[in-house]
């Protein structure tokens, strides 16, 4: 592994085939999650961080209250290297390898670190899908389209989570972000230049899982261009039950509504969420690090705002 981190802590849930790694170098902390389905040779999924903390302040995320800094290219790559080393299998022998930039931080607010990391990871692991999950900050998306055209294994997913901008503003308090209509247009432009399908990720809860909500999404996101992920709710706080049958049923039922409206849909119910915080946003160990390093953990825009039950951003 590159000498980007001084300390790595591993936390396992062997029963659910998932491990979490907490990386620390004194000036930043990062988390990555390693999944196997059902073994590493068949399918390996790695969710890694692009920032330490996050400035976006999403109210469902355990890192939503604090931001330390963006991670360097080496700090991003080393998370992937270390995770793959832990599998004991050469990456070229994995039938399906997915590297996802969605554990902590907003990838598109760290293009300086992310774009070189994408190029290097594509060189190192040409068989890997490189998947970017974004809350859609208000930036110039041309570099994203350019690198996605250059590297054919890159995919993008927009964390939509709500069917209206008003509801999404409560969940994602970061002001400089795209509206849902702007997200729809950026996805269409990405599709035009890459020929690949973007995803939108949605968290179905009791307040947004009606037919009306499904119709709002259908009016915004053309199912001939967009695929959908519906995620089961996770909890950002350790010790709270991460999921229950009601939440799973909501996700499954809403996914059927989207299928009826022409979408290719997958439901994501992350392993390890009840035991090691394996779901995205469940950054239990990062929260402790932030408490222990108040001199480094600057308040994000979300600090002090009400916590909202979490959608999982992981798109495994």
User: Over 70: is that where the pLDDT of 316 sits?
Assistant: no
Alpha-carbon distance of 278 to 16, in angstroms, equals 10
pLDDT higher than 50, residue 315? no
Average pLDDT, the chain: 88
Task: With cut-offs at 50, 70 and 90, classify the pLDDT of residue 311.
Answer: very low
Query: Is the pLDDT reported for residue 81 higher than 70?
Result: yes
- Flag whether 306 is in a domain: no
Q: Is 304 within a domain?
A: no
Give the residue-averaged pLDDT of 72-82.
Answer: 97
Q: Does residue 49 lie in a domain region?
A: yes
Q: What is the Cα 174 distance to its own chain's centre?
A: 17
Instruction: Tell me, yes or no, whether 86 lies in a domain.
Output: yes
- Checking if the pLDDT of 310 tops 90, the result is no
pLDDT score, position 257: 97
Average pLDDT of span 227-247: 65
Which of 134-143, 209-218, 263-272 shows the lowest per-residue confidence on average (mean pLDDT)? Answer: 263-272
Q: What is the pLDDT of residue 171?
A: 87
pLDDT of 107 reads 97
Whether 78 is covered by a domain: the verdict is yes
**More confidently predicted of 301 and 239:** 301
Find the mean pLDDT for residues 291-302: 88
> Is the pLDDT reported for residue 275 higher than 60?
no
Which comes out higher in pLDDT, residue 242 or 153? 153
Contact of 47 with 53, CB cutoff 8 Å: no
Q: Is residue 310 part of a domain?
A: no
Q: Which pLDDT score is estimated for 231?
A: 83
In a domain? residue 307: no
Here the tokens at position 90 are: 């050469």
For the chain, the three-class secondary structure string (H helix, E strand, C coil) is CCCCCCEEEEEEEHHHCEEEEEEECCCCEEEEEEEECCCCCCCEEEEECCEEECCCCCCCCCCCCEEEEECCHHHHHHHHHHHHHHHCCCHHHCCCEEEEECCCCCHHHCHHHHHHHHHHHHHHCCCEEEEEEECCECCCCHHHHHHHHHCCCEEEEEECCCCCHHHHHHHCCCCCECCHHHHHHHHHHHHHHHCCCCEEEEECCCCCCCHHHHHHHHHHCCCCCCEEEEECCECCCCCCCCCCHHHHHHHHHHHHHHHHCCCCEEEECCCCCCCCCCCCCCCHHHHHHHHHCCCCCEECCCCCCCCCCECCCCCC
* Residue ranges making up the domain that contains 92: 7-299
Domain count, the chain: 1
Q: 232 or 171: whose pLDDT is higher?
A: 171
Provide the pLDDT confidence category of residue 314 given band limits of 50, 70 and 90.
very low
Query: Cα(202)–Cα(190) distance, rounded to whole angstroms?
Result: 19
Domain assignment present for residue 228? The answer is: yes
pLDDT at 288: 86
Predicted local distance difference test score (pLDDT) of residue 313 = 39
pLDDT at position 312, please?
41
Confidence of residue 299 (pLDDT cuts 50, 70, 90): confident
Band (pLDDT 50/70/90 cuts) for residue 135 is very high
Kindly report the CATH number assigned to the domain that includes residue 49: 3.20.20.70
Share of the chain above pLDDT 70, in %: 86
Selected residue with higher pLDDT from 220 and 272: 220
């Amino acid at each position: 592994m590159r000498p980007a981190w001084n300390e790595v802590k591993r936390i396992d849930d062997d029963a659910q085939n998932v491990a979490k790694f907490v990386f620390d170098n004194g000036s930043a902390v990062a988390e990555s999650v390693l999944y196997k389905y059902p073994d590493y040779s068949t399918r390996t999924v790695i969710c890694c961080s692009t920032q330490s903390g996050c400035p976006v302040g999403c109210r469902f995320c355990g890192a939503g209250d604090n931001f330390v800094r963006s991670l360097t290219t080496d700090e991003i790559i080393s998370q992937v290297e270390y995770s793959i080393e832990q599998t004991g299998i050469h990456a070229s022998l994995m039938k399906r390898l997915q590297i996802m930039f969605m554990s902590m931080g907003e990838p598109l607010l760290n293009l300086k670190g992310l774009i070189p990391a994408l190029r290097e990871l594509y060189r190192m692991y040409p068989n890997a899908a490189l998947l970017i999950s974004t809350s859609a900050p208000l930036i110039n998306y041309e570099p994203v389209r350019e690198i996605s055209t250059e590297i054919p294994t890159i995919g993008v997913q927009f964390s939509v989570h709500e069917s209206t901008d008003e509801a999404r503003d409560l969940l994602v308090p970061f002001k400089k972000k795209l509206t849902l209509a702007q997200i729809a247009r950026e996805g269409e432009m990405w599709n035009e230049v890459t020929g690949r399908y973007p995803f939108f990720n949605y968290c179905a809860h009791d307040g947004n899982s009606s037919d009306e909500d499904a119709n709002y999404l259908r009016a915004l996101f053309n199912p001939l261009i967009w695929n959908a992920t519906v995620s089961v709710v996770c909890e950002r706080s350790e010790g709270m039950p991460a999921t229950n049958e009601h939440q799973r049923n909501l996700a499954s039922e809403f996914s059927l509504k989207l299928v009826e409206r022409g979408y290719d849909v997958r439901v994501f119910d992350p392993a390890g969420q009840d035991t090691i915080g394996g779901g995205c946003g469940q950054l239990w160990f990062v929260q402790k690090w932030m408490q222990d390093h108040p001199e480094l953990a600057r308040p994000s825009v979300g600090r002090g705002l009400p916590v909202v039950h979490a959608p999982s951003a992981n798109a495994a």
